[in-house]
Structure 1
């Protein structure tokens, strides 16, 4: 134990530090400065002294998209006589990985009812969240397939529009497209873009026909004859050829070839 951390029972401390539950004692101040944290915070790559010395506040490791929600939960006891709360949110590890956690917190007050500390227990629930998300995705996928199966009398445009927008939704993407190839797979013709992509695109004269030899990202599933995943489009890459200036900005992309026997008849992509 460092001079920053005093715990009355060494045996209890050892039990805590060998468990998955991380113990916190936060000050009721902006960013939640840490007064105590168990050594097993190391499971997220951090040393306890990074918090206890003031180098890090707890808010520094909360995922930016979840920070406002966590702030709201911490503020509720200040407006009521609440004795605690529970909340699930994401943390960023020292190596910038995302981990889901479940927090159970007790509010400590003085004789006048003023909050003196928040005492919390934080559990890593990433595996559970991933399983829940996979189950939800499978359910949504089944529902989409059933809806698609019921579109027997719909037009080709209606069917492809539905399939494209569902692909965007199910992958949590911002844009999607569907393109068809010619008979010898040398030309890619854009059949449709997702609504969001069309709204964001700044190009006035939109192209819909792309020769494969001058097309980069969209043509890769045809050239490689497999699904192509690009996780960081901002990095230098030969795949950027043929991507027009002013088009929707891409960060990541998945392109999937559509086969009819041995021939590729189209490409569906989301990003």
Structure 2
């Protein structure tokens, strides 16, 4: 059996029931929307981690930054913390004594080498003088010359090396003009001796040059690099040059040999 049509009264009551539920639903929906708005606003303004900078959020001021105050604790340098010590100043007299001693040692070595070498040259020249004067025969001269050339080249090399070392030295052996006392006087005497020996060495450099050349010529001749005629001509020229330059050395050599440098220890 089918459903009977509702009566007009029943239809009206049903419509009134629907109209009563609608306001309730609207009210509930309004409360939900209002609550969501409140929750969103609270999260926006009270979030502990804003997505933008504080100054970009309305009503929130940028954080105040301050510059740390300079430290008033006194600074210390490495020398103050490590206890570095200053280099003590050397006494000028002590320094001058050391300088004199070093230079005197170098000069004395050059003086000894020059004396040894030029003594050989002197004997070599005297044999030639005696030969030319007829006091010796050529055979006697040739027999006497080898003793004067023994280690002669080595002695010249030793002199040149000692002279270069002396020239390279920076030692001055000098004391202040106003310095007084026994040590200062000793330094001045040593400086005077150094000056005297310096003059001897200046003459030695000139006198030893033809002797050095003659020894080289002899070596070349023995090796077949010079003819007998060329060797004799070169020898006669160097003999004359030796007679001209050796006396200058011989005149000052005794003074240089007697010069001394006595320094306080």
Q: TM-score, normalised by structure 1?
A: 0.21
Higher strand share: 1
Higher helix share: 2
Q: Which has the higher contact order (CA 8 A, sep 6+)?
A: 2
- CA radius of gyration, larger in: 2
Q: TM-score, normalised by structure 2?
A: 0.21
